[in-house]
């Protein structure tokens, strides 16, 4: 089958099948071969790789992945696209298509079944309405993944890569950087897609760490602290954390922990590094344990 990565061929396929774009599925199909080359290069795909593609659309990127990878599993939610994919990928022997919602698929189970549990690479032009749940689902679900190379909304890519003190820095930056090393490989303008999205896009590669870059015995608490700090990012860290309904620390305890870490009393969460959030979680977690033990005395 001829390559789909140009406007004429894409329109031809869409018209042949009278395919109607579904806004609710975030359907913007790539029509630029140079962008696809960049994605494959950024993902560093070789014949050793098992690739999971999320949302193949009409199969434009799948064709490139198939040529570069050992095996490709493409999960597409829209059943109207399945007969199209069967035709456009008919000569591509190493591709398997699954008609399902990626948010409902047991990906770790699929990796165990299809790749013997060995780590995979994820490559996708993501549906933007579910970028964060897809990426965080892969990372927090501890799916064996080497890297995730995805097209996302440009602002989201910038937030994932942002460093402390910048306006884009937030809970997403810290969550992504706890699990991976982000690298923005390309910015992609709207005219590389049919239909054109209203926002700019970027290709980001997330190389998954074998070990998190910071150690904490309080991972859950650390993420609660991060979320609470950025939910009220204009407040001081001490106020944001003591106001957070999901946390149960007095303002005194929080202030003491902030002091113990050598930070000024009026510090804001948006200036803390991942390491500092981890240290804060360890200190507060320790305090909570001591408090719980005291309360249980004599029971
Ligand atoms: N990969 C194609 C390309 O680059 O031209 C299409 C990308 S398009 C931005 C996103 C694709 O994800 C669409 O085909 C859409 O139907 C599919 N999709 C949306 N939500 C999905 C979900 N929950 N699970 C699987 N696929 C989904």
The candidate with the shortest Cα–Cα distance to 47, out of 26, 65, 74, is: 65
For the Cβ of 111 lying below 6 angstroms from any atom of ligand 1, the answer is no
Over 60: is that where the pLDDT of 135 sits?
A: yes
Say which range, 61-65, 269-273, 293-297, has the weakest mean pLDDT. 293-297
Are the beta carbons of 102 and 135 closer than 8 angstroms?
no
Which ligand 1 atom is at minimum distance from the Cα of 53?
A: 1
How close is the Cα of 178 to the center of ligand 1, in Å? Answer: 27
In a domain, 214, yes or no: no
Q: Specify the residue with its C-alpha closest to ligand 1, atom 21.
A: 77
- pLDDT band at residue 161 under the 50/70/90 scheme: very high
Mean pLDDT of 260-271: 94
Over 90: is that where the pLDDT of 34 sits?
A: yes
In a domain, 79, yes or no: yes
For the Cβ of 65 lying below 6 angstroms from any atom of ligand 1, the answer is no
Q: Specify the residue with its C-alpha closest to ligand 1, atom 8.
A: 27
Q: Specify the residue with its C-alpha closest to ligand 1, atom 22.
A: 101
For the Cβ of 75 lying below 6 angstroms from any atom of ligand 1, the answer is yes
Mean pLDDT of 219-232: 96
For the Cβ of 170 lying below 6 angstroms from any atom of ligand 1, the answer is no
Residue after which a domain boundary falls, among 160, 180, 208? 208
Over 90: is that where the pLDDT of 19 sits?
A: yes
- Kindly report the CATH number assigned to the domain that includes residue 236: 1.10.8.100
With a pLDDT cut of 90, the percent of the chain lying above it is 93
Mean pLDDT of 102-131: 96
- pLDDT band at residue 47 under the 50/70/90 scheme: very high
Mean pLDDT of 97-108: 97
How many distinct structural domains can be found in the chain?
2
174 secondary structure, DSSP code = H
Q: 82-100: per-residue pLDDT in tens?
A: 999 999 999 999 999 999 9
For residue 298, the model assigns a pLDDT of: 44
H helix intervals, 180-273: 219-231, 237-243, 251-260
Are the beta carbons of 155 and 168 closer than 8 angstroms?
yes
For the Cβ of 59 lying below 6 angstroms from any atom of ligand 1, the answer is no
- Domain shared by 27 and 119, yes or no: yes
Are the beta carbons of 145 and 138 closer than 8 angstroms?
yes
For the Cβ of 97 lying below 6 angstroms from any atom of ligand 1, the answer is no
In a domain, 1, yes or no: no
The DSSP H or E segment spanning 121 is: strand 120-125
pTM of the model: 0.94
Residue after which a domain boundary falls, among 208, 241, 262? 208
What residues are paired with 181 via a beta bridge? 207
For residue 1, the model assigns a pLDDT of: 72
d(CA 226, CA 276): 11
In a domain, 226, yes or no: yes
Per the rule left: phi > 0, alpha: psi between -120 and 50, beta: everything else, 182 is beta
Instruction: Write the DSSP assignment of 38-85 as a string of letters.
Output: HHHHHHT--TT-EEEEE--TTSHHHHHHHHHSSEEEEEE--GGGHHHH
d(CA 253, CA 259): 10
For the Cβ of 221 lying below 6 angstroms from any atom of ligand 1, the answer is no
d(CA 171, CA 269): 10
Q: Whole-number mean pLDDT of the chain?
A: 95
Q: 49-66: per-residue pLDDT in tens?
A: 999 999 999 999 999 999
- Domain shared by 275 and 162, yes or no: no
Over 80: is that where the pLDDT of 294 sits?
A: no
- pLDDT band at residue 3 under the 50/70/90 scheme: very high
Domain carrying residue 242: 219-297
89 secondary structure, DSSP code = T
In a domain, 153, yes or no: yes
How close is the Cα of 170 to the center of ligand 1, in Å? Answer: 27
For residue 181, the model assigns a pLDDT of: 98
How close is the Cα of 248 to the center of ligand 1, in Å? Answer: 41
For residue 291, the model assigns a pLDDT of: 65
For the Cβ of 127 lying below 6 angstroms from any atom of ligand 1, the answer is yes
For the Cβ of 62 lying below 6 angstroms from any atom of ligand 1, the answer is no
For the Cβ of 272 lying below 6 angstroms from any atom of ligand 1, the answer is no
- Domain shared by 252 and 142, yes or no: no
Residue corresponding to tokens 């090393």: 181
For residue 86, the model assigns a pLDDT of: 97
Find how far residue 29's CA is from the centre of its chain.
20
For residue 14, the model assigns a pLDDT of: 97
Mean pLDDT of 225-241: 95
d(CA 219, CA 253): 19
- Domain shared by 225 and 204, yes or no: no
Q: Specify the residue with its C-alpha closest to ligand 1, atom 17.
A: 55
For residue 299, the model assigns a pLDDT of: 45
3-state secondary structure of 182: strand
- Domain shared by 120 and 158, yes or no: yes
Q: 196-211: per-residue pLDDT in tens?
A: 999 999 999 999 999 9
């Amino acid at each position: 089958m001829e390559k789909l990565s140009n406007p004429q061929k894409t329109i031809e396929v869409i018209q042949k099948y009278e395919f109607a774009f579904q806004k609710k599925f975030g359907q913007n199909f790539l029509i630029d071969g140079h962008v696809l080359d960049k994605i494959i290069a950024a993902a560093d795909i070789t014949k050793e790789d098992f690739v999971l593609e999320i949302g193949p659309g009409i199969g434009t990127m799948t064709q490139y992945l198939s040529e570069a990878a050992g095996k490709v599993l493409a999960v597409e939610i829209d059943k109207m696209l399945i007969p199209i994919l069967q035709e456009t990928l008919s000569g591509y022997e190493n591709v398997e298509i699954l008609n399902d919602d990626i948010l409902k698929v047991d990906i770790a189970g699929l990796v165990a079944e299809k790749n013997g549990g060995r780590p995979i690479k994820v490559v996708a032009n993501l549906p933007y309405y579910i970028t964060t749940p897809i990426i965080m689902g892969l990372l927090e679900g501890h799916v064996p993944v080497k890297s995730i190379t995805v097209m996302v909304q440009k602002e989201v890519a910038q937030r994932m890569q942002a460093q402390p003190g910048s306006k884009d820095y937030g809970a997403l930056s810290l969550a992504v950087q706890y699990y991976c090393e982000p690298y923005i490989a390309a910015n992609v303008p709207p005219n590389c897609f049919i239909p054109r999205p209203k926002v700019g896009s970027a290709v980001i590669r997330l190389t998954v760490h074998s070990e998190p870059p910071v150690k904490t015995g309080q991972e859950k608490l650390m993420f609660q602290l991060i979320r609470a700090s950025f939910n009220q990012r204009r407040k001081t860290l001490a106020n944001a954390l003591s106001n957070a309904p999901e946390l149960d620390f007095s303002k005194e305890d929080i202030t003491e922990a902030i002091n113990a870490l050598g930070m000024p009393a009026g510090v804001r969460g948006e200036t803390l590094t991942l390491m500092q959030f981890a240290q804060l979680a360890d200190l507060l977690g320790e305090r909570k344990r001591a408090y719980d033990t005291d309360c249980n005395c004599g029971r």
